[in-house]
Structure 1
Amino acid sequence: MQALIEVILPVFLVIGLGYVLVWRKFLNDSAIDGIMKFAQQVAVPALLFNALAHIDLSTGFDPKLLLSFYAGAATCFTIGLLGARYAFNRSWEDSVAIGFCALFSNSVLLGLAITQQAYGTGDALAGNYAIIALHSPFCYGLGITVMELVRAREAGTSMARLPATVLKAMFSNVLIIAITLGFLLNISGAVIPATFQSALDMLVRTALPTALFALGGVLYRYRPEGDLRVIFFVCALSLLLHPLITFAAASWSGVPEAGMRSAVLTAAMAPGVNVYIFASLYQRAQRVAASAVLIATGLSVFTAWFWLSVLP
């Protein structure tokens, strides 16, 4: 109960405030879109750039931690894709979008926020930042590649343009650009001048609160529509199977305590808003994606609570 009150509840109160203010018409969609745009394209990229510029690459990027998390993510994507196709009789393109819903955890707005609230900053978040650094490249790379393969197969077109399509989609993402620049600065050993670092720190402090608030406003637009069986299938993969695989793999491979917490808590988070963006990009399974984000975000209160009570 203490974990729920002290760790999880503050995060969801900020999300809930955004939801209520839009519901009661205090803020309109354009205001929330502006806040979300600031969070996603300015504040959160600043947070990731700053984190990757200063992280200890020798300790943060533990291959066992990353393998544990991404083995779970890839397994859920595969089961989601095949389950949607063969158990729910969706088209191959719909099935890829549904698999992507089970693949893309909300690693920043929920995973990072809850881990920080529970365990503090600094070394406690090194595993989170390592996961986040590879998250968009891995998930978008996998999702776009499989979707383009499916579309090319059905259309009977050449695969020669596939690498360029995947790279263009990935490196037009501002989060990936910020992560890449942070890596390069870290490797170069260059130091950010104090004045610029102070300004960057100010932006970083706004990232999670504004993003969580905007997430609440955005979630108000989503409705639990579409095939509820598919939606709860996605929720089960995202909230139950992914953290279970991650926990088992991390325990077996001997991931250190802090890394274990980061990996499992991130794996236990709901699908991120990016799954709806991916579904909209290809005009496939949009209602399932939107509803899965809404319902799983609510259910993640309980999965986060459970794992906080299990993890050291």
Structure 2
Amino acid sequence: MLSVVTIVLPVFALILIGYVCRRTNRLGPHAASELNRFVVWLALPALLFSVTANSSWERLWQPGFLLAFGGSALVVFLLALVWRIRKGAAADAQLDALGAAYANTGYVGIPLCIIVFGENGLEPALIASLVVVCGIFALALVGVEVALQGEKALGPALRKVSRALAGNPLVVAPVLGALWAWGGVPLPKPASDLLSILGAATTPCALVSLGLFLAHKQQESTPGVLPLVAMKLILQPLLAWYVAFEWLELPTLWAHSAVLLAALPTGTGPYMLAEYYQRSGARVSRVVLYSTLGSLLTLSLCLIWLGY
């Protein structure tokens, strides 16, 4: 459990820094939104472009792991979406579903896999990061765009969605990165360094922004938080375990990493998307916070169960 605490503790520290800065008025009432805009328009697109531009099809093609980890995330996303869409707006239901399926692979998953599996753990963690950001996150983003369109006719609605997605940096960046990787030309060092610097700002800025948001007094009630947290911390790793161990019988590294990565807490992606579309971030911000707290126990139990 000490390893899990060591990795998760900086997450709470950064959230707390944002919370204290807002409560003491070191950062103003609009700081959360402005910091989140920096993440959405600069830091996260740089990270997405860099990761996809430096990936290859041969490295990413692990069908068993993709089915175990990605399949479990997709099933949880769809289950949460069906449940939440009957209780509120379709756009908000997409964000709630994303909160139940979006694993914090970058800040928690990568260091945890390296500690548990050594350098061999980096590859499944990177693949999981691409699945989460370029798969589940992109699916929710498209769902939000579709839900926000007002046209009844299919043609105008599709045109509006296409235009919105074409101007969204979180869609454009990984597509451009994939095209660069397909070209087979390595990134020039100055460009690579610039992307690394910007990309490294994603997690701390997103977590501080989350702390700033949580410091605002929340007037609205947020029912449904705990079921979403339970889907993330319990249902998703159980589904990954069934596929990896009972169905496909994957090699040890890939089976164990699929379960461990599926058991991660929710990352800040759903909150960033809520801020970007100016939707209520109260529920998803609590899902991030509570799942991170709960993961101290669930990840520790998962490591013990896997024999570490």
Q: For the superposition of Structure 1 and Structure 2, which TM-score range results when normalised by the shorter chain? A: 0.7 to 0.9
What is the deviation of 1:83?
3.5
- Corresponding residue for residue 36 of structure 2: 36
- Give me the identity figure in percent: 25
Q: TM-score, normalised by structure 1?
A: 0.76
What is the deviation of 1:23?
2.7
Letter in 1 for 2:169: V
Query: Is residue 131 of structure 1 aligned with residue 131 of structure 2?
Result: no
Over 3 Å counting, the alpha-carbon distance change for 1:264 and 1:14 in structure 2 is farther
Over 3 Å counting, the alpha-carbon distance change for 1:245 and 1:79 in structure 2 is same
Letter in 2 for 1:242: Q
State the distance in 2 between where 1:8 and 1:138 align.
24
SS in 2 for 1:44: helix
Query: Is residue 233 of structure 1 aligned with residue 227 of structure 2?
Result: yes
1:1-312 superposed matches below 5 A = 1-84=1-84, 90=87, 93=90, 96-97=93-94, 100-105=97-102, 107=103, 110-120=104-114, 124-136=121-133, 138-139=135-136, 142-143=139-140, 157-221=152-216, 223=218, 225-226=220-221, 228=223, 230-251=224-245, 252-260=247-255, 263-276=258-271, 287-311=282-306
Letter in 2 for 1:192: L
Is the Cα–Cα contact under 8 Å of residues 244 and 250 in structure 2 kept in the other structure?
Answer: yes
State the distance in 2 between where 1:281 and 1:51 align.
22
Gaps spanning 5+ residues in structure 1: where? Answer: none
State the distance in 1 between where 2:196 and 2:138 align.
30
Listed one character per residue, the Cα deviations across residues 178-222 of structure 1 (whole Å, up to 9, x for unaligned) are 212222222211022223333333334433333333333333347
State the distance in 1 between where 2:239 and 2:30 align.
40
Is the Cα–Cα contact under 8 Å of residues 105 and 264 in structure 2 kept in the other structure?
Answer: yes
Over 3 Å counting, the alpha-carbon distance change for 1:53 and 1:277 in structure 2 is closer
Over 3 Å counting, the alpha-carbon distance change for 1:279 and 1:122 in structure 2 is same
Letter in 1 for 2:186: V
Is the Cα–Cα contact under 8 Å of residues 146 and 161 in structure 2 kept in the other structure?
Answer: no
Gaps spanning 5+ residues in structure 2: where? Answer: none
Over 3 Å counting, the alpha-carbon distance change for 1:134 and 1:11 in structure 2 is same
Is the Cα–Cα contact under 8 Å of residues 140 and 170 in structure 1 kept in the other structure?
Answer: no
What is the deviation of 1:287?
4.8
SS in 2 for 1:191: coil
Letter in 2 for 1:182: G
**Equivalenced residues, count:** 303
State the distance in 2 between where 1:200 and 1:151 align.
32
CA RMSD across the alignment:
3.7
Is the Cα–Cα contact under 8 Å of residues 5 and 296 in structure 2 kept in the other structure?
Answer: no
Over 3 Å counting, the alpha-carbon distance change for 1:218 and 1:150 in structure 2 is closer
State the distance in 2 between where 1:184 and 1:270 align.
31
Is the Cα–Cα contact under 8 Å of residues 224 and 291 in structure 1 kept in the other structure?
Answer: no
When structure 1 is superposed on structure 2, of 238-247 and 116-125 the one drifting more is 116-125
State the distance in 2 between where 1:32 and 1:99 align.
20
SS in 2 for 1:29: coil
Is the Cα–Cα contact under 8 Å of residues 32 and 214 in structure 1 kept in the other structure?
Answer: yes
State the distance in 2 between where 1:255 and 1:167 align.
38
Is the Cα–Cα contact under 8 Å of residues 50 and 195 in structure 2 kept in the other structure?
Answer: yes
What is the deviation of 1:147?
7.0
Listed one character per residue, the Cα deviations across residues 78-116 of structure 1 (whole Å, up to 9, x for unaligned) are 33244346xxx62573884476245541x4xx3211123
Over 3 Å counting, the alpha-carbon distance change for 1:253 and 1:173 in structure 2 is farther
